[in-house]
Structure 1
Amino acid sequence: MKKKINVLVRVIVMIMVFVITIYFVNIFENRNYKNLAKEMNDAELPLAYVSYGDTLLNCMHGYTSDVDITLLRDSITPIDEQKHIEILVQNDKKYASGYSYEIRSIAGDSLVEKGDIEAADNGSGYDELDINVRMDLKKDMEYMLVVKASSEKGLAASYYTRIVVNDDYHEAELLKAVQDFHDASFDFNALETESVIGTYKTEYAGASTGDSFGLGHVNLANDYADIMWDGLKPTVVSDINIYIKEIDVNYAVIEMEYNASSITDQDVTSYYAVKEFYKAGYSLVEVSDSEADGEDSYGDASYGDASYGDASYDEEYSYTDEESQGGQAEETSHTEPKITMFSYDRYVDEYFDRTGIDALNNVYEIGIVSSDDLEYRYVENNRKIAFVRNGQLWMYDYDQGEIIRVYSFCADDYTEDAATYDAHNINIMEFADDGNLTFSVYGYMNRGDHEGKLGIGLFTFDYSTLEVDELLFVECNVPYEAMKTETSRLTYYDGQKFYYMMGGKVNAVDIKNRKQSYIAENLSAGDVKVSADMSVMAFGENEDQSQNTRITLMNMKTGNSYDITAGDGECLICYGFKDSDMVYGVSDIADAGVDADLESFSETKYSEESRDNIPAKRLYIVGSDGSQIKEYAKDGCYLMQVDVNANLLYLTRGEKSNGKFVAIKDDFITFKEDDSKQTIGTVHNSSITGYDRLYFTVPENIYLSYIPNLNITKEKIDDQNSYMIMTIEREKVTYHVYDNLGLSKIYDVAGDAINYAESVAGIVVSSDGEVIYRKMESQEYNTIAAGIFHHSTGTVDASLTDCLYMVLNYQGVQVTEDEIKQYSDPVTVLNTLGKKKGINVTGLSLDMLLGYVSDGIPVISRIDDGRYVLIVSYNDEDVRYYDPVENKEIVVSREEYIDMMVVCQNESYTYVSE
């Protein structure tokens, strides 16, 4: 018995010693770690879809933070006059326990309707939500539908799609046309003559986009073989998400998103993120019965058997007795539906695969790309490289033969929508020789501790421990599409303060004190230039170059700023940065009225965007400390456009001749590089794999031969990180241009935005959420002269007030001249006193201005001696305007009026109808 007790005591003592030893070893081993590490939390939020017949449309991701819905244009859902909406929520993880909905004005400031929703199980793992809208919704007016899912833990996620009531958008036929085109692109053995794609290519009247990234971007101008994947033969491996991005009675913009894979002859599987954009229109065309011969006039592109909703079409043909007896009959006709494919663009981005080492050519494959815009950094000895692909941050260490996936919402699962959702991106801010990284992640957080939130995260990566540490997260209300136009350009961390651009400000957060301030405000995204390493930025005082007499250069690494000022009668323009050196030009304000002879520049780089710039007579390069490095000036020579490239400045030049700028020989400013120093770069090559892919090139002393080992990081659990919430409130109205890929550019002046939208076939939406421009066919002639009540005070100085008085009166608003004179800006007058949204359309061509008159809207235009007139009528040859100085209507030719407008730089104002 005593032996048993002694044995038991020994066992207990040994266990105690073991536990104590483990305790102290754990303390010793982790003495340099404040916290443990963990893997990123899996996504929990369900996805929501609009149910449309047998199809799921407009996939919606849940937001757990506030969202500025005026900037959210992910999708739009047309509904009929019954106003029934069916939403399916993929609630297989049982996040949601209750649902409600809201319908708001597109500006978000007015609640139209709200209510709770009783969910039903549709038997396929989805919660089915039926919404029957009670309130009257105005036809063709956009509203925002917000579906809210609440959890038993007290959490909530909101889902957004715009809705619009109209029975005549023909979305069923358009959706089927898009589906047929997509399906045809995967029918690899079909001949062009047998494919619906061939039909659309034959009818296509557009042009190529001008880029050349092989399969990375194709459109209808490409060869049929390119649209058919040129032998790649991929397979779709995920759901195909279909989004209606824009729709009206004229056309719809429809997007398809999915992931695909292909297998090479060497049994290597590659994965691709694919986006397809279609701009298609529906119309009824008149077809001769003899031509139709019982068949649709557009052959394979017919949609009589549309399976989306109730889109069936049946046409009966009747014949006269004469025809049935073989006699001569009058030709009869009927109308048939026709789908026109205005444009098609497919963008393909290959997911990075660490196995892409090509030892023979000594390159590392990045993959098929839709753009050359690749974010990457390398260390001094070129032995390490960090880069961003498809929202993933990678770091390759040549010496250690390993590659680290530093940050990613998506692991290797390319089938899950939540994992591969790409509404975020990454900026690399610092890459040290030891492999440590500082980076920022901005946009929508797919998973992790901030899942469903919008914001910016500041992170560091410790290569020795493979840990990612979050130093700061700033939650905001700006959707990714709007955020990226600013935040992608500037995030910088100096070790104490984190700088980032958002809301027209350069914000600064002191990490230690957890305090936020800003160091610059009222900035326009298009007017801010930033150095490659984001440590230096420059901005002007005014987006209008003629009023821009100062450029501020800010060095965030040193905390110093420098002001560069123009001389009398001069203005400045910043062209950008060469490394950390700023390039800017000095122009004469008087040259703003001098046109360019565009024909003479037809063979040059002179672009549409540069035509708004005043050519510079001198060019300067200054360092990050404000010191002048170089001056460029030649008598009689003007810089029409300056392109800042890697090793040179490309100068498109002109001279004055007969009152215009005329092209002369281009020039260059080169930067001497150390020819002996080789660095990592990128190159396109199609000879290696048969398809145009992008590759990393390495110096000659590096030999790529082995597939690197893969390491995955973990998140450091750190209670010391900072969390902040920032709500962006816009201080001025801005105008956002949306093209195929979403938000493209932001402008302060509506006319500039409309001009750009015209060039990219886009639309313009104000920051209040209203569509102010969408390309539409204008009438051949129109007049609103009879509706204009003439008002004249007989002076040039008062002509603007007279025109504003007439426009407001035309809207049915009774005002006095004194009320109008309280405001200095015409747009403010229209917005404050009027019933419609006023816009500054300065810079638009006469043809585009007449588009407003075509819609029954008068246009205020400045001409000749500075007087303002009201355009009220037009036809294919002439323009009629009311001149309040002369107190009469005047008719001139279009050419004459264009000459009169140019004198005042096409200054114009109008408004948009609802």
Structure 2
Amino acid sequence: MKLRYMRIHVWVFFGVFIISLALFYGTLDNHVLVNEFHTVRSVDATLPVISFETSGAEINRTLGYTFIPQEGKMRESITPVSPTNRTFTVLVDEKDSNVRKIGCTVSEVVTGVVLDNIELMSLKRTSDGRLSGQFFLSANYATNTEYTMRITITTSEGKVAYYYTRLFLPTYGNPKREVEFLENFHEAILTEDRRTEVEKYLETEDGYTGSDFSRITHRDTVDSVGYGQMEPKEVETFVPRFVEYTTQYVAAEKEFYVEAYSNDGLETYACVEHYRFRTETKTNYLFSFERKMEVVFSPEYFNLSQQQIKLGITGEQKLNALLSDNEKYLLFVRDGDLWEYDMAENVMIPLFSFDREGGDNERYHNRNHNFRLISVDDKGNADFVFYGYIIRGEYEGRVGILYYRYYAEEQRVEELMFAPVTVPYDILKEEFGDICYMNKFDEFFFTLYGTLYRYRTTLHDTVIVAENMHEPFYLDGSRLVYQEAENDVNTRIVYYDLEANTTDYREADEGDLVLFLGSIDGDLIYGDAHKSDLSFKDNGQPHVPMYRIRIENSDDELLKTYVREHPDEYYLDAELSDYGLALNINKKTGTVSGVKKDGTAFTHVTYEDIGTYNILKSTEPKTERVKLSTRYSEPMRREYYLNLPASFKLSVVPTMISVKNTQGSGRTPVRTSERSVPVYYVEAFGKVISVSEDLAYCVSYANANYGGVFDERGQIVWLRGMRANSALLRNVTPTFTNDTIGEKEAVLQILLSYKGAAVNAWDCNLDEKGMLAWVDENIPGKAVDLTGVTMMEALNFVSDGHLLVTYLDDHWMVVIGYTANIVHVISPGEGRQRTILLSRMRNTLDNHGIFYTYID
């Protein structure tokens, strides 16, 4: 069903314009060179769309890839299969393809070892015209364990497409009953006289009345959950997608379109509902519900009296937009499409849209792409970057970054660069860095996986400028400032000119270190430290106390210097936020000297934390050139509007024109390298929402978003809701302090012994390097610092069978178990095993206590 741009008067104009274009360009072939460019026809999508039928329930509409990605990171859905009958069915909507065969490959997530490899040549045709293939799993699978499942479809035309889900054989669950509950809830809130059926599942907050339909949750009123006075009509719906499946709960999402009358007429809305629930034979439990709603953008909805473009109901309160200096051309992104509004000619131009030639909402609803707006000049020429999953055209089924240039006079969009990646869009959007810059020599700079690239569009080659870049960095015009990586622990800062391709450095003073801490209000912040004050934390990371903080403007003029009055006090651990820069204050307490295993001497300084110091940002609001305003009215409640520049007067609704798409000759895909530094991925409702090297941050962020954390191998590291009610680890050998073994050595020995390490703690010099560094070297897996998480978040690791190290009452301890009320610990310094009230540990340790553990 076609849902976009359904207004008749627009299409009349558009049809006339297309006929005119056809007459003008009728002599041009779509595949001949036109001024050294290939004109590219926008074609329909061709890859089939599949879904899965399991235990009588159809779930998990899935789009295909035309390459094999990093399979451990493919987590878009999970398909539960009965461990008893081990069968499931793949349903295939062929679209414009003729499917010849279907294959199924199941492998272990971390190792990639293939367990089943099945191929079906004989397929059935269902009553609705789809193909059906049933698979039986013959390998020996563990229950309640995730596996990677790849469905491979080969067409008669020779195309091959790959589809991914996670396979899960649960010991508890009923997919048919779960789908019935979800669909019944969904239908009830769309039906006015049934909305009271869902009221018992809601947790409406007292006195709360929602004013915005863009996001509704189970804490809203039944009136808001039921769309208030909107009276929507569902016009297209898709099968549920299961994104988490455990023995405790199911997380699923439901995508659909509705139509409803606003004050401007009939409008279409793309909706997605998120459910987290559990079904039983007699009772159902709803743990959380969220509905997000976005209006399908209608380019003819202008408010002439207020000089505004109507955006309508949207959760995007900050518009991705760019205005030319002369305020005649406006680039903006809406509903997954990129538009240019030519105010001089009063014309709306869709520069990039997968959807404008017929609408394929089954694919398009995912909106697994976005844009970076680079520039728009005073003639309407524009540069922009597309990144994400490509649903049609030459790169159908790929994921990547494309750089485009729009030539306004020719009404032509030219592709200048394509950089494919091997991860899904939700990871790409987190790994595609903030640096996007095109210089006057047509050299495009961008960051991906922490690497800064320079792509020369005229020569079609790529140069790596810097690797392992870490935030913070600062870009002012063409000047990029960042800390040089792996350079003798921060002895210089890099200043790179993106226009001139030249590099300058700020070297530390003799015997010093220099750190770039970030920027506040356009001013740069640096920290200076003496190498002699350097020490190392238990996790092996450098402890760099700064004796001086300097703030300079972008012209390198010193504005302010901060130095502690007491000579033994230092600034430490800078944390930049929206409010400013937070610095911990440490005081020197002594030194530790010794000899390393290789015979060399070492000296470390010890410190204690005595407080914090904050450098605040300016409170003056920034001037936005592109502004939004809101209005509240029934039945739509809050709607957003884009304000046009005051210099422009809109008297009639704009018309719309189309553009040609071209590709430059001689292009080759840009090759990029994978990230060299291990990271963790935060996942919520089947989508990656953050990437970081800091596991503690990832755990806290996942918990706040009802999600989980997985590593680069695809192994789940932490998952909300999966902590057992109690746990007690067995075969833990206590070690207590004596005249030769201190608390840290004893704690280290408990860890090494539990993991079967070949080395003993008394062979490890903890003055030479931290406890976690020794653990890292001597056990399989990876030692991790969880400092900053809550006690309950940390106990998930004990639930999974890992020892947990903490510090309480001036003693190092090892947590070996817990119940609902107490925590079991070994306290080497006290010479005993003991229990501590869980409530006391939570009050003392939450968010700032020390927690160490490891990942297998």
Distance verdict in 2 for CA 1:88–1:780, change over 3 Å:
closer
- Structure 1 position 340 matched with structure 2 position 341: no
Residue 293 of structure 1 corresponds to none
TM-score (norm 2): 0.80
What residue ranges of structure 1 are gaps of 5+ in the alignment? 1-21, 284-312, 314-336, 594-612
| AA partner of residue 815 (structure 1) | A
The 5 A counterparts of 1:886-905 are 888-889=832-833
Distance verdict in 2 for CA 1:357–1:782, change over 3 Å:
closer
Q: Distance in 2 between matches of 1:629 and 1:745?
A: 35
Answer whether contact 1:375 1:388 (CA < 8 A) is retained: yes
- Structure 1 position 186 matched with structure 2 position 186: no
| AA partner of residue 114 (structure 1) | N
Instruction: State the SS of the aligned residue for 1:195.
Output: helix
- Structure 1 position 106 matched with structure 2 position 35: no
- Structure 1 position 174 matched with structure 2 position 105: no
| AA partner of residue 722 (structure 1) | T
Distance verdict in 2 for CA 1:902–1:368, change over 3 Å:
closer
Aligned partner of 1:469 among 408, 414, 425: 414
Answer whether contact 1:820 1:829 (CA < 8 A) is retained: no
The 5 A counterparts of 1:318-397 are 337-397=282-342
- 1:562-601 Cα distance to aligned partner (Å, 9 max, x none): 65688999986745575xx3554759999x99xxxxxxxx
Answer whether contact 1:282 1:339 (CA < 8 A) is retained: yes
Displacement after TM superposition at 1:466 (Å):
1.2
Q: Distance in 1 between matches of 2:214 and 2:338?
A: 21
- Structure 1 position 277 matched with structure 2 position 274: yes
| AA partner of residue 910 (structure 1) | Y
Q: Distance in 2 between matches of 1:244 and 1:903?
A: 32
Residue 709 of structure 1 corresponds to 655
Distance verdict in 2 for CA 1:423–1:274, change over 3 Å:
same
Q: Distance in 2 between matches of 1:554 and 1:618?
A: 22
Q: Distance in 2 between matches of 1:692 and 1:563?
A: 51
Q: Distance in 1 between matches of 2:492 and 2:116?
A: 49
Q: Distance in 1 between matches of 2:689 and 2:708?
A: 10
Displacement after TM superposition at 1:145 (Å):
0.8
Residue 870 of structure 1 corresponds to 814
Instruction: State the SS of the aligned residue for 1:238.
Output: strand
Q: Distance in 1 between matches of 2:827 and 2:148?
A: 42
Residue 435 of structure 2 corresponds to 490
Distance verdict in 2 for CA 1:53–1:887, change over 3 Å:
closer
Moved more, 485-494 or 132-141: 485-494
Residue 246 of structure 1 corresponds to 244
| AA partner of residue 366 (structure 2) | Y
| AA partner of residue 202 (structure 2) | K
- 1:762-799 Cα distance to aligned partner (Å, 9 max, x none): 21111211111112375666543x52123468578876
Q: Distance in 1 between matches of 2:165 and 2:300?
A: 40
Q: Distance in 2 between matches of 1:42 and 1:214?
A: 36
Q: Distance in 2 between matches of 1:149 and 1:397?
A: 44
Residue 331 of structure 1 corresponds to none
Displacement after TM superposition at 1:539 (Å):
4.6
Q: Distance in 2 between matches of 1:872 and 1:214?
A: 47
- 1:270-305 Cα distance to aligned partner (Å, 9 max, x none): 22221211111346xxxxxxxxxxxxxxxxxxxxxx
Answer whether contact 1:615 1:641 (CA < 8 A) is retained: no
Displacement after TM superposition at 1:488 (Å):
5.9
Moved more, 134-143 or 144-153: 144-153
Displacement after TM superposition at 1:511 (Å):
2.6
| AA partner of residue 117 (structure 2) | K
Q: Distance in 2 between matches of 1:854 and 1:120?
A: 46
Answer whether contact 1:215 1:348 (CA < 8 A) is retained: yes
Instruction: State the SS of the aligned residue for 1:231.
Output: coil
Residue 465 of structure 2 corresponds to 519
Answer whether contact 1:443 1:454 (CA < 8 A) is retained: yes
Displacement after TM superposition at 1:474 (Å):
1.2
Residue 731 of structure 2 corresponds to 787
What RMSD over aligned residues (CA atoms) do the two structures have, in Å?
4.6
Q: Distance in 1 between matches of 2:563 and 2:296?
A: 49
Q: Distance in 1 between matches of 2:840 and 2:246?
A: 35
Answer whether contact 1:733 1:748 (CA < 8 A) is retained: yes
Distance verdict in 2 for CA 1:777–1:262, change over 3 Å:
same
Distance verdict in 2 for CA 1:432–1:91, change over 3 Å:
same
Residue 159 of structure 1 corresponds to 163
Answer whether contact 1:443 1:456 (CA < 8 A) is retained: yes
Answer whether contact 1:70 1:108 (CA < 8 A) is retained: no
Distance verdict in 2 for CA 1:496–1:824, change over 3 Å:
farther
Answer whether contact 2:205 2:220 (CA < 8 A) is retained: no
Residue 146 of structure 1 corresponds to 150
Residue 11 of structure 1 corresponds to none
Displacement after TM superposition at 1:518 (Å):
2.0
Displacement after TM superposition at 1:621 (Å):
5.7
The 5 A counterparts of 1:34-73 are 34-35=36-37, 37-52=39-54, 55-73=57-75
- Structure 1 position 480 matched with structure 2 position 425: yes
Answer whether contact 2:351 2:659 (CA < 8 A) is retained: yes
Displacement after TM superposition at 1:854 (Å):
4.5
Instruction: State the SS of the aligned residue for 1:685.
Output: strand
Answer whether contact 1:794 1:884 (CA < 8 A) is retained: no
Residue 427 of structure 1 corresponds to 372
| AA partner of residue 103 (structure 2) | S
Answer whether contact 1:778 1:854 (CA < 8 A) is retained: yes
Q: Distance in 2 between matches of 1:574 and 1:206?
A: 44
Q: Distance in 1 between matches of 2:559 and 2:757?
A: 59
Aligned partner of 1:220 among 208, 218, 221: 218
The 5 A counterparts of 1:498-897 are 498-524=444-470, 527-529=471-473, 538-540=481-483, 552=494, 554-560=496-502, 574=517, 581=522, 584=525, 620=551, 622-623=553-554, 627-628=556-557, 630-631=559-560, 668-670=618-620, 679-687=625-633, 691-726=637-672, 728-740=673-685, 742-776=687-721, 782-784=727-729, 787-791=731-735, 794=738, 803-807=747-751, 809-810=753-754, 813=756, 815-817=758-760, 834=779, 839-861=784-806, 869-874=813-818, 879-884=823-828, 888-889=832-833
Answer whether contact 1:421 1:446 (CA < 8 A) is retained: no
Displacement after TM superposition at 1:408 (Å):
0.9
Q: Distance in 2 between matches of 1:406 and 1:633?
A: 50
Instruction: State the SS of the aligned residue for 1:215.
Output: coil
Distance verdict in 2 for CA 1:433–1:130, change over 3 Å:
same
| AA partner of residue 173 (structure 1) | R
Distance verdict in 2 for CA 1:148–1:824, change over 3 Å:
farther
Aligned partner of 2:402 among 454, 457, 465: 457
Displacement after TM superposition at 1:907 (Å):
4.0
TM-score (norm 1): 0.76
| AA partner of residue 773 (structure 1) | W
Residue 228 of structure 2 corresponds to 230
Answer whether contact 2:302 2:308 (CA < 8 A) is retained: yes
Distance verdict in 2 for CA 1:879–1:765, change over 3 Å:
same
Distance verdict in 2 for CA 1:392–1:207, change over 3 Å:
farther
Instruction: State the SS of the aligned residue for 1:723.
Output: coil
Moved more, 354-363 or 407-416: 407-416
| AA partner of residue 324 (structure 2) | V
- Structure 1 position 906 matched with structure 2 position 850: yes
Answer whether contact 1:414 1:420 (CA < 8 A) is retained: no
Q: Distance in 1 between matches of 2:286 and 2:574?
A: 37
Residue 260 of structure 1 corresponds to 258
| AA partner of residue 85 (structure 1) | F
Q: Distance in 2 between matches of 1:687 and 1:903?
A: 42
Instruction: State the SS of the aligned residue for 1:180.
Output: helix
| AA partner of residue 556 (structure 1) | L
Moved more, 687-696 or 369-378: 687-696
Distance verdict in 2 for CA 1:791–1:574, change over 3 Å:
same
- 1:861-884 Cα distance to aligned partner (Å, 9 max, x none): 35677x854222445665443345
- 1:408-443 Cα distance to aligned partner (Å, 9 max, x none): 111164553124431111111111111111111111
Q: Distance in 2 between matches of 1:110 and 1:777?
A: 26
Answer whether contact 2:76 2:243 (CA < 8 A) is retained: yes
Moved more, 167-176 or 75-84: 167-176
Richer in helix (by share): 1
Aligned residue pairs total 789
